[in-house]
Amino acid sequence: MKIGRGAAIVAQQFHTTELTGKNILITLGASVEAIDPVRYISNHSSGKMGMALVNNCIELGAQVTCIYAKIQTELNQRASNIQALSAKKMHKAVMENIAEQDIFISCAAVADFSPENIAKDKIKKNADDLKLILKPNPDILQDVCKLTKKPLTIGFAAETKNPLENAQIKLKNKGCDVIILNDVSGADFGLNVDENEVTFLSQNYQQKIAKTSKQKIAKKILEIFIRKFL
């Protein structure tokens, strides 16, 4: 049977997939903690894993809000994109947008500490030592998990030592539904590269996802998540 263009458009509008009707908030990238107007503390995250999740969630029909820090990847214009560079700004942006979300995916590499004071002017090299006082940042994922109307939550754990044990501890302590363990002890995958190898962990389920592109890892994470939680 031949379908006309009008009918095809209608069919497309009514095409539903596994995440149709779901609101998903995803954080990604490396947080940036200013020291002075020209210097900052950050980390090696590129945002590529998070962006792969944004792209795949959109393909599966979700409405995605993307809160991003420093990234080395293209934004998806079909998401609602909000930039929040520091941990504190990201915390505020997440809390302002969390109420209507069904799922929160915390992929950002958030600095645990930031300088107590940001120098107004560039710090000059006129002293032998420079002491920075760092104060703890809020834990965004943990705070989302404490909400009375908590969405389903997926966190990431970047580990270099005792990966499984540490990821299990994070799953419990943060109170999230899923932790994606990213063993970053090897130089070939994890941070700042295009491929990854992860383990999907929930309270009573564990599945390793073998080394492949971040796009394919994201697809597989969502496949398991949908099967187990939706």
- Nearer CB in complex with ligand CTP: 120/167: 167
211 SS3 class: strand
53 SS3 class: helix
Phi, psi values for residue 53, rounded to 5°: -70, -40
- In the structure encoding, which two tokens stand for residue 196, read together? 């990854």
Q: Minimum CB separation from ligand CTP for residue 137, in Å? A: 5
**137: nearest Cα among 108, 178, 162:** 108
Q: Minimum CB separation from ligand CTP for residue 173, in Å? A: 8
Q: Minimum CB separation from ligand CTP for residue 106, in Å? A: 4
- Nearer CB in complex with ligand CTP: 11/96: 96
Q: Cα separation of 47 and 126, whole Å?
A: 36
Does 43 participate in catalysis according to the annotation?
Answer: yes
Catalytic residue among 23, 43, 56, 76: 43
**Amino acid letter at 202?**
S
Interface contacts to ligand CTP, rule CB under 6 A:
87, 106, 108, 110, 112, 137, 139-141, 155-158, 170
- In the structure encoding, which two tokens stand for residue 71, read together? 């990234």
- Nearer CB in complex with ligand CTP: 170/219: 170
Residue positions annotated with a catalytic role:
43
